[in-house]
Amino acid sequence: MAVLPILTYPDPRLQRVAEPVIDFGQNFQTLVDDLLATLRVSAHGVGMAATQVGVLQRLVIVDVSSKANIKHHGLQVLVNPEILDWQGFASGREGCLSVPDYIGTVIRAKKIQLKAQDRHGQWREYAMEGYEARAVQHEIDHLDGKLFLDRLVSKKRDLMLRQFI
């Protein structure tokens, strides 16, 4: 297992669209383990996409279990994730390991229905809400080359320096 360097804005590789995962072999398993190790050592990290370590494959990990009093599924490895349904809208604060100095206020769906493969290729469906749903929407954006910065309604009003939060 290796902790990988995280790309930061404005690295152009963060804007590329990731490819579907089709090979769940040893190289992919190593990538999953490396991504998990990288998230584990990152302060504030509740999720990470393979894009953030420069690998353009549709793989994200999410673990919001450190947040108090919310519904969640624990640590999840989500491969080729697809949002099937959205409900409601809520604005909330987000950070990103690729935008380390800032926090943004972003509008996301409140609830999502999600389909994803696990690290061995098995499909699963999830109903997610609140902070976990937000985190997954944020991570899937990375796979499509988007950062939370692209979703701010107003850069002046909705972007804050992390040190002032």
Which residues are annotated as catalytic? 139
- Which part of the chain contacts Ni ion (CB under 5 A), choosing from 24-32, 90-98, 112-120, 126-134? 90-98
The residue among 39 and 114 lying less far from Ni ion, judged by its C-beta, is 39
E-strand spans in 27-75?
47-49, 59-62
Using the contact rule CB under 5 A, the part of the chain among 24-32, 71-79, 92-100, 107-115 near Ni ion is 92-100
Residue 152 binding Ni ion, by CB under 5 A: no
User: Residue 89: which of 130, 125, 126, 127 has the closest Cα?
Assistant: 130
Q: Specify the residue, 96 or 106, whose C-beta has the smaller distance to Ni ion.
A: 96
Long-range contacts of 22-30 (CB under 8 A, 24+ apart): 24/79, 24/119, 24/120, 24/121, 28/57, 28/59, 28/119, 29/119
Instruction: Tell me which DSSP letter residue 135 carries.
Output: H
CB of 26: closest distance to Ni ion in angstroms?
27
- Return the structure tokens found at 103: 């926090």
Per rule CB under 5 A, is residue 59 in the interface with Ni ion? no
Rounded to a whole number of angstroms, the distance between the first and last alpha carbons of the chain is 33
Of the candidate spans 9-17, 72-80, 89-97, 118-126, the one that interacts with Ni ion by CB under 5 A turns out to be 89-97
Q: What is the DSSP letter of 19?
A: B
Nearest to Ni ion of 41, 69 (CB atom): 41
Residues touching Ni ion, count (CB under 5 A): 1
Which two three-digit tokens encode residue 58? 């549709």
Per CB under 5 A, 96 contacts Ni ion: yes
List residues near Ni ion by CB under 5 A: 96
